[in-house]
Amino acid sequence: MPDFTNPFVRLFTGLGGTLLFASLVGLVLRHAVAKGQPNAVIDNLVARVNAWWWMVGLLGLVFWMGRSAVIGFFALLSFLALREFLTITDTRRGDHHALLASFFLCLPVHYALIWVDWYSLWSILVPVYGFLLLPILAALSGDPKRFLTRAATIQWGVMVAVYSLSHLPALLDLRIPGHEGEGMLLIAFLILVVQGSDVLQYVWGKLLGRHKLSPTLSPSKTWEGLIGGILSATALGAAMSWITPFTPLQAAGLAFASCVMGFFGGLVLSAIKRDRGIKDWGHLIEGHGGMLDRLDSLCFSAPIFFHLVRYFWT
């Protein structure tokens, strides 16, 4: 029998029930509304729900495997996200060594520092040493053509895909009095709130969306969707305070700040996609695009959440 006193069991049981309900809704809509015919909105909803089954199942498995598996899992996500980011940029042969250092030096060393819990070096490795090393390696190639753009692109890719995202597994090592060893619940809280905000913004936008928020950067986003999604996710955060060391009011505040930053993350990464003339970062996840299409909001919200918790609760 499942141990329902375990917060992870209760959390993932609730997620399973929610996804089952969403799958049933999609099935009903396909038969009652679409009459079995193709429908862009309903088909997109079903694809998103199916993808969420895989993502929740994979996340649950990684959590069950323990701390090392969680760190390794996010290192893999960073690798895939960095690959997507740099694939769409204009690099040259002279960037070869900088790219190798990004994937096979900065990324593994950075996550190794989380594994050994060396916060002081982890916190500055990429923004200080990586920031200096990568353009040095590119300059040594002797290729000055578009050097500033190329160097900044690689630096920014590593900052977003590696440094920012790594604040999620770094939550494992926060020592909150009375809640030691519960970092995985903090990771689950942040992911569910921020990703829930993305889903709820989509739902509210489809239901009530009238006023476009930024037609040139993200044509599907509306003010109604943004406000409804963030407020709903803030309420979700308050309701999930039981898996955290926060009071419902504190959980709501952290959820609100995380969702706002998550929205800006999506907007910034959308601006990059529009600049490169693409709709999605990739096609890895059906209904969701590429890895960065799912992680863009977390890349911006994770550092803010991490440092708020570290400053006020440790």
Same domain, 181 and 288: yes
Same domain, 37 and 53: yes
d(CA 125, CA 110): 7
Helix axes 147-158, 131-139, angle to 10 degrees: 140
d(CA 215, CA 225): 14
**Which residue range is the domain that position 268 belongs to?**
174-314
Same domain, 182 and 221: yes
In this prediction, residue 191 carries a pLDDT of: 93
Q: Are 247 and 220 in contact (CB under 8 A)?
A: no
Same domain, 240 and 260: yes
Distance between alpha carbon 263 and the CA centroid of its chain, in Å?
Answer: 11
Same domain, 196 and 220: yes
In this prediction, residue 1 carries a pLDDT of: 56
* DSSP annotation string for 169-191: HHGGG---TT-TT-HHHHHHHHH
In this prediction, residue 286 carries a pLDDT of: 57
Same domain, 37 and 118: no
Helix or strand (DSSP H, E) at 222: strand 218-222
In this prediction, residue 22 carries a pLDDT of: 81
pTM given for the model? 0.91
Closest residue by Cα to residue 161 from 218, 239, 106, 114: 106
Beta strands 212-214 and 218-222 are antiparallel
Sign of the CA dihedral with 226 first, then 51, 267, and 295 last: positive
Last residue of a domain, one of 27, 49, 65: 65
Encoded tokens for 221 = 């986003």
Same domain, 120 and 19: no
User: For the chain, what is the domain count?
Assistant: 3
Same domain, 128 and 160: yes
Same domain, 60 and 77: no
Same domain, 245 and 189: yes
> Average pLDDT for consecutive 10-residue bins of the chain (314 residues)?
70 83 81 74 76 85 93 96 89 90 96 96 95 94 90 94 96 89 91 90 84 82 91 94 94 97 93 84 66 90 96 91
In this prediction, residue 3 carries a pLDDT of: 62
Last residue of a domain, one of 65, 93, 113: 65
Last residue of a domain, one of 173, 206, 240: 173
In this prediction, residue 4 carries a pLDDT of: 61
Same domain, 158 and 183: no
Sign of the CA dihedral with 241 first, then 247, 253, and 258 last: negative
Closest residue by Cα to residue 196 from 230, 165, 219, 223: 230
